[in-house]
Amino acid sequence: MKQRIRIWSIGASDSCAGAGLQADLAVGHACGVDVGVLTMAVTAQSSHGVKALQLLPLSMCEAQWQALLDDGLPAVIRLGWLPAEQTLLNWLLAKLEGYAGWVIWDPVMSATRGGLPERTDPVSVWQPLLRRCDVITPNLQEACALAGLPANASVDDIVGNLRAAGAGHILLTGSNATSRVGQQDEAAVWQQDCFFPAAEGSGCHSVDELPGPSLLPEFRLCHPRIAREVHGTGCHLAAQLACSLALGYTLYDAVVRAVAGARQAIRLASGRASGYHNAWAGDPDDSMAEDWPRVFAGGQADDEPASSMAFSPCERPLGVYALTDNLEHLIALIDAGVDTLQWRVKSPQPDYPDTTRQAIELCRRAGVPLYINDDWALAIRLNAYGVHLGQEDLNLADLTAIAEAGLRLGISTHSDWEIARARALQPSYIAFGPVFIPLSKKLRYQPLGVDCVARWSQRFSEHTLTCIGGITEHTIVGLNASAMASAAVVTALAPGPELAQRVSGLRKLMPALEMYERGPISENC
């Protein structure tokens, strides 16, 4: 018997099962999450629209709450369509008052195909609920209605009014923009979902973990729009968000997974003759790279969401990728046959620029790519092969200058959100980590494990990839199933005897590492 995390879904039923409580049940089951439902209204609807709606009496809502409570409070409560009926709303607010978990609200204000009563409620009706919710996921039309603004209001005004009303975190969904996709010439319509963190003092759950506001407080999640009308995408997104939070993902990661899950539901939709199809729930872990958004800085929808930067690709697989901070060790690693090197000097001395120049020249002569850790300005000045940056470093580096100088770029990632941010920049390679508990330093991130690395490496195989963290001859065997063609190693390739044998041993234990003859490499791009 399996013990599963549980969420509650409170809202309206949907007789065609694409949205509402039925969508939450489908999403929960796809993600391995148990879902309890509290039905506040019953609808009769099809792909042609809502035919009828009937509110349940307060006594029945109370009976359902007590029945759910018999099995304990859930990890997350997900709210959907709610009646603008003051007695029912007051009852719900009183119930939520003593609840300490996340509350997610997808404020369904109308039906795309019509049939729901038109909302003419004053903004004050919803303000108490806004103040109680940790995350709201309205589309632009719904956000304008909640903010008491006309449909053509600016995003700044919408977010400002919602924050003034006490709203927590805001995920504004469904903005479209025409843009080039990467370096392709043809234009595509991008879907853009914009995230805004809660204002200080809002009283909702804060985001004090990584990834979080210290990296990007506001951001856009961009993905090419699928030209298909689908019923229930907003419900699927909110349900995926609730399930991901219940499963322990951070808010930023949960938002990325929610968008990926909603896109997956569109791609997998069940066809309807009306042309308005039914969303179909899946597990984001089983989705393809095309389902996952890319994260760009800023909360304003942009006509050019695709990055205009283009970092040159790696000339060959990264292979056995060693990190060093001194010339003697660097020379030994070159002689031992490593494929790629990183110059990572955490405590630079006065001779640091000169030793860095020597390291670059030594690697160039040997045909070994060398990436300079963090110090992008010096790497540009010395015409290095490439630069490696962490997530915090991305906030400080002049990425345009790095690209224009022709340097390659590698980026460290530790989570779904950080991968989405890295992919937006189109780097030369992406590094996943820590796979295992690092031996060389302490990190704030938990080990990913081989299953996670395998999923990521298969999903994002169009990128050059490597992984790092606790990789030794004992742990590298577990990476075989991931088909990872590179591993970055620190402690297991530390200075000492039999370095060449250690490099060779790592290769033999990880067959996916490419074998090739080292040859000349470009000075840079």
Q: What is the pLDDT of residues 68-113, one digit of tens each?
A: 999 999 999 999 999 988 999 999 999 999 899 999 999 988 666 6
Query: Which CATH number covers residue 31?
Result: 3.40.1190.20
Number of structural domains (the chain) is 2
Round to whole Å and give the CA distance between 256 and 181. 19
Round to whole Å and give the CA distance between 436 and 282. 28
515 occurs within a structural domain: no
Domain boundary (297, 332, 361) is at 297
pLDDT recorded at residue 112: 64
Round to whole Å and give the CA distance between 432 and 255. 20
User: What residues contact residue 408 under an 8 Å CB cut-off, 6+ apart?
Assistant: 311, 312, 313, 314, 369, 371, 385, 386, 387, 427, 428, 429, 524, 525
Each residue's pLDDT tens digit, 319-330: 999 999 999 999
pLDDT recorded at residue 201: 79
35 occurs within a structural domain: yes
Q: Examine the domain organization and report whether 259 and 335 are in the same domain.
A: no
302 occurs within a structural domain: no
pLDDT recorded at residue 252: 98
Indicate the DSSP class of residue 425: T
Q: Examine the domain organization and report whether 245 and 329 are in the same domain.
A: no
Look at residue 413 and give its three-state secondary structure: strand
Q: Which domain holds residue 373?
A: 319-509
pLDDT recorded at residue 202: 82
Q: Examine the domain organization and report whether 285 and 360 are in the same domain.
A: no
pLDDT recorded at residue 523: 55
3-state helix, strand, coil in the chain (%, to 5): 35, 20, 45
Query: Which CATH number covers residue 470?
Result: 3.20.20.70
**DSSP state letters, 150-194:** -TT--HHHHHHHHHHTT--EEEEEEEEEEEE-TT-SSEEEEEEEE
User: What residues contact residue 3 under an 8 Å CB cut-off, 6+ apart?
Assistant: none
Token pair in block for residue 135? 């995350």
pLDDT recorded at residue 176: 56
Q: Examine the domain organization and report whether 261 and 399 are in the same domain.
A: no
Q: Examine the domain organization and report whether 277 and 334 are in the same domain.
A: no
pLDDT recorded at residue 247: 97
The whole-model pTM stands at 0.94
Q: Examine the domain organization and report whether 236 and 355 are in the same domain.
A: no
Residue ranges in the chain whose pLDDT is less than 50: 178-186, 525
